Each structure stands twice: as C-alpha cells, then as structure tokens.
Structure 1
Amino acid sequence: MEFFSQILAADDARYCAMIANDLSALSSLLDAELLYTHSSAVTETKEEYLESLRSGRVVYHSATRSREILRASEGAVVMVGHVIIKATVDGIDRILDNRFTTVWVKKHQTWNLLAWASTPTPKVMG
C-alpha cells in the first residue's frame, strides 16, 4: 500500500531527527497525545520525551530498523519490527536491541507517531 511507504519515510525521518537531536523536526512527527514506552517500561508523554533529549539525559547515536510488519485500520497504522539503537542514557553508553510496536495516525495530511513501545530482544540461550 502506498501509505505504508509514507509511514516508513516518517519513521526514518523520526530516527534522523532523534540522532541529530533536531527537536523541532522530531516534535512535528510526534502526536500531541504521544505515549512513549521505553524498553525500561518507563512511559513518557511527548513533552517528557522531548525534555529527556533536550536535557541530554538521552543522546541517540544510531538506529537500524528491520523486519517491519505494517497493518492499517481506519486512519491508523501499526508497525512492529526490530531496532538496534546506540544511545547514551544517563551518561552510560548502551546498545538497545529491541522489538517495537508503533502506532501512527494521520492528522491534517501528516502521519504522526501516537505510540511507541519497545521490549528487549531476549538473548538466545544454548
């Protein structure tokens, strides 16, 4: 579907803005009602999430998304996939190997991220 490519482009732009710490560009991609649940299980609002970047508490260095699956329903698109993020969180360098779920909604001809939830990918034992 054509709008799936729009979602992937919006998500790419989101990661670019996160890595560049371009909070204006990032804010324009985030819905006012954003719920952002980190792999630590902490959930932040849009303003809380942006403040964590503004303050330097979280600094993103890179992000590689893969294995995306998208589903659409009545003005919303859900995407699940895998992402590896290199970041500094509270002064500690981390590599986050996560599965994620996002919800994108279209408002005023623009796709906005309404929800993000991630969970660490389990290490395979054996």
Structure 2
Amino acid sequence: MKRRRFLVAALALCGLPAVFGATPDQQAVEQAERNWAKAVLAGDIAALQTIFADDLIYTHSTGAVDDKTSYLAKMNSGTKYEAIDYQSMTVHIYGKDAAIVHSKARLKATTPTGGVDSNLMMLHVWAKQGKTWKMVAHQTTRLP
C-alpha cells in the first residue's frame, strides 16, 4: 500500500512543471527568444551581437542563408522589421545546454528589395554557452 502511494505521488510530481509552468531553463530560453524579437524589431545590432552565437546559421524562408556577420550587415543596410507577432511558442530543453523553440508568428519587414508580410513557422536552436543561452540556428518556413 505504501509503495502504491509513493508511486502515485512520484508520478504526480513528474507532471508539476506542466501543471505549474515552465522549468527555469524553459523560462530562460523563452526570455532569450523574446529578447531576440525585441532586438530585431529595434534594429539593436549590439543586442543581436550578444544573442547570436559566433557560428550562427540563419536560414530565411526564401532559402537564403546567412552567418552572423552577413545577417548583421543586412540589418545595417536597411532591413527594418516592423512586427513579429507570435501565435504560438513551444520550448523544448535537451540535456543541460541545448534547446529548440518552435513557433508560429506573423512577420512584417521592409527590405531594400521590398516588403515582407508573412505567416511563418520558426525553428530556433539555442545552446547554453557558459550561463547564457545563444541562438545557434534560425530556420523559417512560410505558411499558406
């Protein structure tokens, strides 16, 4: 009987993060994700320098691929994000230093070649470097 109660209590405790909210790492990654969106919208190159890992792979919905240097150069050359409106966001933590954020968002931007207004599915990969979560990969897909 005691063993059964223990098992029921242990199983109930396993579900606590889902019931009472995200784990500290999930909260930290979600905050890092929101900091990325805030920095992109503000055109804050200094913040993006610290958010992005040095070996960032940034794949746009067009298939174009940037590294950290080329993406930041585009931000400096007239690309202006006007809105990133999240419709959903899910954070998955893997081990102690890897995370994936899967989200859907509407993105509006102006680039030197025209305007963008797209519903996107985004996949961001985050790695914990020291005590800081850094974005190591960005991949977007346009939704119909």
Where in structure 1 are there 5+ consecutive unaligned residues? Answer: none
Stretches (4+) displaced over 3 A: none
The equivalent of 2:99 in structure 1 is 77
Partner of 1:45: 67
* Structure-to-structure mapping, 1:4-83, within 5 angstroms: 4-56=26-78, 58-74=79-95, 75-83=97-105
Please give the secondary structure, in 2, of the residue aligned with 1:97. Answer: strand
TM-score norm. by structure 1 comes to: 0.91
* Structure with greater strand percent: 1
Backbone CA RMSD of aligned residues: 1.1
Normalization by structure 2: what TM-score?
A: 0.80
Other-structure match for 2:123: 101
- Mapped to 2, the partners of 1:81 and 1:14 lie a distance apart of 13
- The structure 1 residue matched to 2:135, chosen from 103, 108, 113, is 113
Q: Deviations over 1:28-83 (max 9, x none)?
A: 00000100000001110000100000111x21111112321222213100111101
* SS of residue paired to 1:115: strand
Letter in 2 for 1:45: D
C-alpha distance in structure 2 between counterparts of 1:16 and 1:69, whole Å: 18
Equivalent residue letter for 1:77: A
In 1, are the aligned partners of 2:25 and 2:93 still within 8 Å (CA)?
no
**Unaligned runs of at least 5 residues, structure 2:** 1-22
Q: Matched residues in 2 for 1:12 and 1:69: separation?
A: 13
Higher percent of residues as helix: 2
Larger radius of gyration: 2
Aligned-residue offset at 1:91: 4.1
